[in-house]
């Protein structure tokens, strides 16, 4: 049973980084969401995709830089900290950190939001290669790519929250 709007938002409001409005709209559209990772993900994505450009941009901007200042200061959400650590971004050498910092700055200056990638299963070298490839995208291409990555991150988070038959 899904429960109340408040309990749904409390449980899933952070799946899209610091953007509980996604869970609020998902619940408002369908209060009978089955509590499986795929079903909740579908409902959240159905609320995220038709949102205004400004709302989606705010979700992108809510994500932290990879291996950035928040990570160093210990200011990441638990999900973000675990995700970045799984790719070794918490164990960078000084030169690797400088490379990530330079790419973060160039990317954010170009697109107006941080580089976003679902890091699960990736190495720091995979992430750097994607960074270097995607920085050449057009703003429109990268907005869509980053949005798709946010959706992928949400699914991975939900799969860790809702073990079940559709999580294989």
Do 27 and 66 share a structural domain?
no
Residue 168 covered by a domain: no
- Among 18, 41, 63, 97, the active-site one is 63
CA dist list (Å): 118 to 80, 82, 93, 156: 10, 12, 22, 8
Active site residue 63: yes
Highest mean predicted confidence (pLDDT) among 14-18, 90-94, 110-114, 120-124: 110-114
Where residue 129 sits, what CATH number does that domain have? 1.10.3330.10
Q: Which backbone phi and psi does 115 adopt, to 5 degrees?
A: -65, 130
Q: Which domain holds residue 151?
A: 57-161
Look at residues 30, 109, 95 and name the one whose alpha carbon lies nearest to residue 67: 95
167: in domain: no
Same domain, 10 and 87: no
Average pLDDT for 54-73: 75
Mean pLDDT of 142-148: 98
Give the pLDDT confidence score for residue 79 in this predicted structure. Answer: 63
Number of domains composing the chain: 2
For the chain, give the percent of residues with pLDDT over 90.
62
Give the Cα separation of 42 and 39 in Å (integer). 5
Same domain, 91 and 72: yes
pLDDT tens digit sequence for 77-112: 566 666 666 667 777 788 888 888 899 899 999 999
Percent of the chain with pLDDT over 70: 83
């Amino acid at each position: 049973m899904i429960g109340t709007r408040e309990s749904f938002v409390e449980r899933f409001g952070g799946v899209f980084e610091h953007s509980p409005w996604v869970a609020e709209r998902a619940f408002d559209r369908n209060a009978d969401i089955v509590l499986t990772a795929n079903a909740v993900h579908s409902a959240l994505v159905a609320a995220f995709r038709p949102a205004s450009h400004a709302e989606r941009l705010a979700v992108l901007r809510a994500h932290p830089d990879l291996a950035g200042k928040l990570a160093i200061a210990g200011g990441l959400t638990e999900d973000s900290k675990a995700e970045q650590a799984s790719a070794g971004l918490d164990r960078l050498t000084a030169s690797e950190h400088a490379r990530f910092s330079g790419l973060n700055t160039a990317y954010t200056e170009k697109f107006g939001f941080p580089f976003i990638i679902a890091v699960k299963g990736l190495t720091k070298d995979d992430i750097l290669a994607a960074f270097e490839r995607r920085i050449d995208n057009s703003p429109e291409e990268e907005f869509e790519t980053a949005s798709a990555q946010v959706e992928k991150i949400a699914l991975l988070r939900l799969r860790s929250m809702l073990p079940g038959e559709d999580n294989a």
